[in-house]
Chain A
Amino acid sequence: MKLIFEKSVAGRRGVRLPRCDVPIERDKLKGLKRKELPDLPEVSELDTVRHFTELSRHNFGVDTGFYPLGSCTMKYNPKIGEEAVRYQGFSRLHPLLPQLRQGGILTQGALQVIYETERFLSEITGMAEFTMQPLAGAHGELTGIMLIAAYHKSRGIKKTKVIIPDSAHGTNPASAAIAGYEVVSVPSDKNGVMDFSEFRKVIDEKVAAVMLTCPNTLGLFNPDIKKIADRTHQAGGLMYYDGANLNAILGKCRPGDVGFDVVHLNLHKTFGTPHGGGGPGAGPVGVKEHLREFLPISLVVKRPDGTYALEYNRPKSIGYVAPFYGNFGVILKCYVYILLLGREGLIRAAENAVLNANYMMEKLKSYYHLPYDRRCMHEFVLSANKQKKHGVKALDIAKRLLDFSFHPPTIYFPLIVEEAMMIEPAETESGETLDKFIEVMIQIAKEAEQEPQTIKDAPHNLDICRLDEVKAAREPNLKYVRVA
C-alpha cells in the first residue's frame, strides 16, 4: 500500500482553519524560524479517511476475531468505556485545572473517578493504597521498584539485588536493572514454578525484592508462594507482584493476603480497557501500609465533607512518575468496567478465563507437547517440539493460524520452553470459538506430519507473505524520504 506521503499532491488541503481575526506580525520570530516547511502530507480529508480506513482493514483486533495472545489478556472491551471517555467533561478537562485556586471544585467528577477506582483496586488486590499514575505495566514495575528502594533507603539499609525467576516477563529484569539493581535469575523446577531450593541459595540480606508473577507465565499458580514470601520477609526483602496475570485469580486470591508488599496491575489486561495497537495502557501500583508514605505525588484524597482533593504535601514521596494523575482515559474505562461487572462479574470472569484455558489445554495436549502437564490457570504453554521433527516450528504454526483468521498465541515465550506457544483464551470467548480454534490447531498438527511445507509456506490467504525481518534490521529504513 502507498504511504500517506506518497499520496500527497502539492497544494491539496484537508481541514480548513478559521481566518485570522487579529493582526499578523510577520517578522517577530526573525532568525528563529525553520528554513523550510516540514514535509507533511498534502491530502484531502477524504484521502486521509480512505487511507487510514484501508490501513485498518489490514489489521487484526479483538473485534476482528479470536486473539489468544498469552500473557496479554485480549478480552473483549465493552464499548460503553469508549463512549464515556468522549464525554466533554472528561475529554476536554485540563490537567492543571485542579492545581489552580477554585479549580479543584470544577474537577470533582474526574477526581472521584480516580479515587473510587483506586479504592476498588485496593480491595481487589488486598493492598492499602494505589497510585494511579504509572502509564503502563512496565512503568508500574519501575515505580514499584523505586518504592521498594525508597523504603529500604529510609531504613538505612543498603540492598543491591532483585530476585526474578527465569520464566518472568522481560520487563521485570529490565525494570529492576534501570532502577539500579543487580538482577539474580532463579531457574524453574520440574513443576514449572520457581525452584525453591535454588531460591533459598540466593535469598540473603542484600535482596531488596523478589519479583514474581503469580500465576506465572506458564499459567501456573505456585502453591509455595507463601513460603517464598515468608522467607523473603525474614531476610528483610519485599515481595513484588507483577499483576499481568491477575485476571486468573479475581476474587479467588489477593496478592495482599499472600504477603506481597507491592503490586502493579495492567488495566489493559485484567480490567477490559483496549490495548490500542500497543498502548495506551495503565499500570497502577498498590502498596501495603508500610510503603504508603513513599507513593508518588500527588494522590487523590476524600475530605470529610465528601469532596475530593489532590494531596501534594508528601515529604517522603518518591516524587513525580508521571506529569499528572495517570492515563486518565484508561483509568476511566477501568472504572466503567468494574461498575459493569461488579463483584460477581469479576469472579465469573476469572472462573471462565481459567475454565476456557483448561478446556483448550485438555483438548490440545495429545496433539502438541505440553511440558508442564498439570492444572493451569488463565493460560497454558504448549511446545511445537513434536512438530519440529517434521521441520515445523512454532513460528510456522503461528503463520498457518493466520490462514484461518485467528491471531496466533504468543510464541517463543516464556524462554524456558522450547518452541513455546503460550495460549490465553480469555473469559469473553465462547465454547464454540474455542472449539473452532482447537479444530484448526488439530488440523495443523496433522498437516505437520502429512504436508509440512503447507505450514512452512504460510500464510497463504493474506495479501502479504512472511516479511524479511533480517533485512529490516540489517538495513534499517525507518522513515519516508521524498525522492526529488
Chain B
Amino acid sequence: MPYVSNTDEDRARMLGELGLKSIEELFSDIPADLRPSSFNLPPGLSELEVRRFTQTLADKNATDLICFLGGGFYDHFIPAALDTIISRSEFYTAYTPYQPEISQGTLQAIYEYQSAVCHLTDMDAANASLYDGGTALYEAMMMAVRITKRRKVIVDEGVSPIYRKMLHCYTGNLALEFVEIPVARNGRADRQAIETQLDKNTSCLILQNPNFFGCVDDITDMAESAQKSGSLVILSTYPISLGILKTPGEMQVDIATGEGQSLGLGLSFGGPYLGFMAVRSQYIRQMPGRIVGETTDKNGQRGFVLTLQTREQHIRREKATSNICSNEALCALSAIVYLSLIGKEGLKEVTELCSAKADYTLKRLLEIPGVKMRFPVPIFNEFTLELPRDAGDIIGQLIEKGIMAGFPLGRYYKNMEKCMLIAVTEKRTKEEIGMLAEALEAVL
C-alpha cells in the first residue's frame, strides 16, 4: 500500500512482538457501538490517475483572462527563483521550529522576514506571520482592546469590506461597540466624523491605505487625534505600495497590518496567503503569534530562537494574547525571498511600473464617453470609475471578451452599483491596457 511502509509481514511481526493476533485488537478501547455507521469513500487511485484528473479540474478554470481585478489581491510578477527556493523540502516538510538547533533555516529566514516587514513599514517589531490580512487586522483590534481596556472600535469604511465583515464575525460574541464611518465625498476617511466619534471609550481607529477605493492618503492628522484621546491607530496596508508611499511609521501608526500575498504568493483562489503585523516597541509583548529573536550559543555563535513565548497559547493557555499556533511560515519565507530577489531598487521599480500603468489606464479609460473618475484624489495602482450603467453587468460582458476588468463596488457599497474598482500591476502591458479600453468602449 503506498504511503505506508510496513508490509503485511512487517505488520505480523510487529503485532507478534506486542503479543497480538490482529490489528483490530489495537482498537479495543473503541466500544463496538461507537464503530462507524458508514465510511463510504472511493477506492484509492494511482498517482497517474490522480494527476490526470486534477489536471482536468485545473483546466476547467480560466487561466488566460487579462487581470485588472484587485481588491486587495493582486496579479504581481513572481520570479522563477522563488519557487525553486520554497520547493526545498527541508523548508516545507518541517514544522514550527521548536528545536532551534536543527531549525536555523526556518528561524533565520523568519528573522529576516520580520526585519524586512519592519523596514517596509518603518515599525519597530514584526511577528512571524498571521493567517491573512483580515485576521491580522482582527488580531490588531483585539490587541488594542487589551492594551486600552476600552471596548469601542472606530472603523473607516475605506477599509476592505471583506475585512470589516471578518471583524464583525469574530466579535459577534464579545461586547464590543463598532462604529463604521462612511468615507468623505473625496473618497478618503471622513476626518470630521471620526473626530466626533473619538472619545475615552475608543480603543482604536482602524484605517487602510491606499483604501479599498484606491485612494491614497496621509493619515498623520487622524493618528494624532486618535492618540490624543488615548486610542491606538491601526493601519491596514498593501506592502508593495510601501515601496513608494508614506509608511505607517512615518504616519505615527501604532499597529500596521496587511496582506502579504503581493510579496511573491500566487493568487491561488484565496490562499494560502500571509498576514503580517508590525508594531511600535511598547506593544511587542502584546503581539499575537510566533516571534523569532536573535541570541547566541555557549560559544558566542549567533543563532535564532522562538522568543517571548510566554505570550502564547502553549504556555499561557486561556490567558494567551491569541490562540494562533500554526501560522503561514512558508508564505513568510516566500515574502523574504521575493523581497531579496526584487531588492531595494527593484521594489521601487515595481511601484513605479504599477503607478505609471495605473495612471495610463485611467487616462485611457477616461477618454471613453460616460466614464468618470469617482474620487478626485491621488491613487497608487488601483482606482474607482463610475460607469453609465450597472458595473456588474459590464464586468460580465468584459469577461466574455477575455478580460477581468475589475470589481463591482455595488457588491459591498450601497449607491455604488455603477462603480468599478480597477487594479493595474507591473504585469499589464500597454497593449493589454489598450484592449481593456477598446473592450469597455465597445460594451458601453
Contacts and interface: CB of A to CB of B under 8 A. Distances in A.
Is the pairing of A and B real? yes
Contacts of A141: 323
Nearest to A12: B343
Contacts of B36: 126, 251-254, 257
The 7 closest A-B pairs by CB, nearest first: A324-B270, A342-B44, A101-B396, A89-B58, A59-B105, A61-B93, A109-B60
Contacts of B14: 355-356, 359, 431
Contact of B268 (A64, A102, A329): A329
Given A137-B325, A323-B162, A108 B101 contact: no
Interface in A33-82: 33-35, 37-43, 45, 47-49, 51-53, 55-64, 67, 69, 72, 74-78, 80, 82
B307 interface: yes
B416 interface: no
A341 B1 CA distance: 9
A170 B101 contact: no
A88 B63 contact: yes
A404 to B, nearest CB: 12
Interface string A440-484: 000000000000000000010010111111011100111110000
Contacts of A136: 131, 324-327
Interface in B28-67: 28-31, 33-45, 47, 50-51, 53-63, 65, 67
- Interface size class on chain B is 35 or more
Given A63-B89, A479-B118, A48 B172 contact: no
Interface stretch (B149-157, B224-232, B365-373, B425-433): B425-433
Nearest to A357: B26
20 contacts: A17-B426, A22-B430, A23-B359, A29-B244, A55-B106, A89-B57, A94-B75, A94-B269, A106-B399, A126-B37, A138-B323, A169-B325, A279-B129, A322-B131, A329-B272, A339-B54, A341-B3, A375-B26, A402-B99, A478-B293
A235 interface: no
B317 A226 contact: no
B165 interface: yes
B65 A106 contact: yes
B26 A351 contact: yes
B193 interface: no
B203 interface: no
Given A94-B73, A225-B34, A61 B91 contact: yes
Nearest to A45: B81
A55 B108 contact: yes
Given A83-B51, A171-B313, 4 more contacts: A25-B359, A342-B42, A356-B14, A465-B299
> Per DSSP, are chain A's interface residues mostly helix, strand or loop, or mixed?
loop
B130 to A, nearest CB: 9
A276 interface: yes
A478 B292 contact: yes
Contacts of B23: 351, 354-355
B350 interface: yes
Contacts of B344: 8, 37-42
B58 A88 contact: yes
B112 interface: yes
Contacts of A106: 61-62, 65, 399
Interface in B90-109: 90-106, 108-109
Given A13-B346, A138-B323, A35 B250 contact: yes
Interface in A170-195: 170-171, 173-180, 183
B120 to A, nearest CB: 5
B342 A14 contact: yes
A393 interface: no
A96 B69 contact: yes
B326 A137 contact: yes
Nearest to B33: A226
A99 interface: yes
Contacts of A436: none
A29 B23 CA distance: 70
